[in-house]
Amino acid sequence: AKTYLDLQDELYPAMPQLHDAWVQDYAERSMNVVVLEDRSTFPTLLHCMKNEDVVPFQVLTWLYEMTKLWEVLETCGHSASVLEPNNLHIDEGQVLCLQRLHADYPGHAPSLKDLGSLWQNLFQQSQRTQLGALSKLCADLELGAIETLVELQERLEAIAQELQEPLFGVDVPLMPPLPTQDSSATQPSSEEPPMTDFTPASETDDEDLTLDPPTLPPPEFSEAIALGAGSADEDPELDEDEDDDMSPTLMPPMDDASDESDDLPTIVLPMKLISLEDAGRTDIGQQRKHNEDYFSIHTQIQKADSPLARHLTAKGLYILCDGMGGHSGGEVASSLAVETLEQYFEEHWQDQLPMEQVLREAVLMANKAIYDLNQQNFRSGSGRMGTTLVLVLIQGTEAAIAHVGDSRLYRFTRRTGLEQLTVDHEVGQREIQRGVEASIAYARPDAYQLTQALGPRDQNFVDPDIAFLELTEDALFLLCSDGLTDDNLLEKHWRTHVEPLLSSQTNLEQGVVQLIDLANHYNGHDNITCVAIRAKVRPDVTPPRRV
């Protein structure tokens, strides 16, 4: 069991998740019992290799993934896990994964020659025609002519280069990442019957059995997070301190690469979207008499599924607004902003993700609609209605973000944890950007007063943050009103209420309800709204159709 815990972070989803473990005592001996995620329903690697629709490049990808698993498992005495054909499975996203771990026999550590014999047997039993270079590689591997794992991986990369050059027209290695970086296999739900694996205690090193759940690395947050964000009510009279210096709050960098990624296999395959799910919910909260939040979800999804492939064409428009203003003004402003944006993108969003200028024009048009209504009704001061905005557009593996106010967008991935992608447009953050220490900036009585919102003032005072990003791994996006994010609620409870939502086995609707309940329990002073988006991607190894 300890081996599963030690490798959980590094190898999931290639390795099954550990649910429970204990030592069972019998009359003559003790047994270590581990309860694992059940992967027996996944097709085996051999079964998939027999499928004529699986392209040679995909098979090469699986072989390469085997070498990456071997690299990790050899160091802990479990490389035999890769040598058992019935232990090798393929998940719904075409990722190679193990059904369980097999310990190496004492005194008989498997060698690369054993791996070569396995590959030869797989090709023989699948009756799949080998490419000349791959056939020679398997023969050399079985004969012991390839002595190191690095040499084996270099040979595979060279074959991959030969395969992809005429198809993709590029001159770079196209080997996909180790499945842990794809993080696409879904974790099992509690409703699925787990698989129980009985292993004699004498055959394992798990003398000190640890049943604590595996720990994940702490989430990485943007340096631009609103430190000490609190729950002060919004004032529609926006801060007017130095209006001529109201440059927009800069979005935090959205470079998905990290320093740690330099040691990982290069991810250069084009990605494809295989799943796009969403859920939204709003709640009045515990103290408000009206719900001034408003959200909208519009998607267009076309998909074609087969046992071994999933093709998806998807567009998604997600809008969340948190209104403010006297009487029913906040409700009017938030709904009017959403309606205006929906109409705009219906006309201006066709086959490609809109450019930055189009997004900016959309936001300014929503601002104008509310501003004009304020002017027509002679609203002034706190009676002028307005709204925050956080907007996400997704098309394929591309996403665009627009943001005004203090409603937030978060992203969660297994690689980076929880990230806040937007920076609140408020006095405290403005002062921090001017060089003021956070503790001093948020000691101001007006620290949480908005510096910009849609509606109260004309377009000269609205400058939305706009950013674009690529979906290079499975991701969960959360659009949130401040009723959900106040007091750093998500940062405190991401392990229990955010991380599980990345799994396809978790009901997204129920997850959003649980987030609303969490906010009502700990906050509840404001309206609470959440829109969740779950996007799953995979390397696209399908060769382009020849014309």
Q: Is 36 inside any structural domain? A: yes
**CA 317 – CA 359 distance, rounded (Å):** 12
Q: Is 443 inside any structural domain? A: no
In this structure, the answer to whether residues 277 and 397 fall within a common structural domain is: yes
- Report the CATH number that the domain containing residue 132 is assigned in CATH: 1.10.510.10
> How wide is the angle at C-alpha 135 spanned by C-alphas 130 and 139, nearest 5°?
145
Contact 340, 365 (CB under 8 A): yes
Considering only CA atoms, give the Rg of the chain. 27
Contact 526, 486 (CB under 8 A): yes
pLDDT at 126 over 70: yes
Contact 476, 498 (CB under 8 A): yes
Contact 318, 476 (CB under 8 A): no
pLDDT tens for each residue of 225-268: 332 333 334 444 566 554 444 433 444 444 443 444 344 444 35
For residue 19, the number of C-alpha atoms closer than 13 Å in the C-beta half-sphere is: 16
Q: Is 60 inside any structural domain? A: yes
Q: Compute the Cα dihedral for 120, 124, 129, 132 and give only its sign.
A: positive
Q: Is 392 inside any structural domain? A: yes
pLDDT, position 327: 58
pLDDT at 208 over 80: no
In this structure, the answer to whether residues 197 and 274 fall within a common structural domain is: no
In this structure, the answer to whether residues 323 and 412 fall within a common structural domain is: yes
pLDDT, position 269: 62
Domain count, the chain: 2
User: At which of 177, 203, 229 does a domain end?
Assistant: 203
* Structure tokens belonging to residue 376: 């027509």
Looking up tokens 């403005």, which residue turns up? 430
Contact 67, 153 (CB under 8 A): yes
- Report the CATH number that the domain containing residue 359 is assigned in CATH: 3.60.40.10
Q: Could you list the residue range(s) of the whole structural domain that residue 285 is in?
A: 243-247+269-426+453-539
**SS3 per-residue string spanning 260-311:** HHHHCCCCCCCEEEEEEEEEEEEECCCCCCCCCEEEEEEEEEEEEEECCEEE
Looking up tokens 């509310």, which residue turns up? 370
Mean pLDDT, to the nearest integer, of 385-413? 97
Highest mean pLDDT among 2-16, 19-33, 184-198, 357-371: 357-371
Q: Is 224 inside any structural domain? A: no
pLDDT tens for each residue of 350-372: 989 999 999 999 999 999 999 99
Q: Is 496 inside any structural domain? A: yes
17 closest CA partner among 34, 29, 42, 31: 34
In this structure, the answer to whether residues 7 and 93 fall within a common structural domain is: yes
How many CB atoms are closer than 10 A to CB 449?
A: 21
Beta-bridged to residue 318, according to DSSP, are: 297, 392
pLDDT, position 251: 44
Q: Is 221 inside any structural domain? A: no
In this structure, the answer to whether residues 312 and 459 fall within a common structural domain is: yes
In this structure, the answer to whether residues 196 and 285 fall within a common structural domain is: no
pTM of the model: 0.65
3-class DSSP state of 502: helix
pLDDT, position 541: 64
Q: Is 437 inside any structural domain? A: no
Phi, psi of 89 (to 5 degrees): -125, 165
pLDDT, position 258: 42
| Average pLDDT over the chain, rounded to an integer | 81
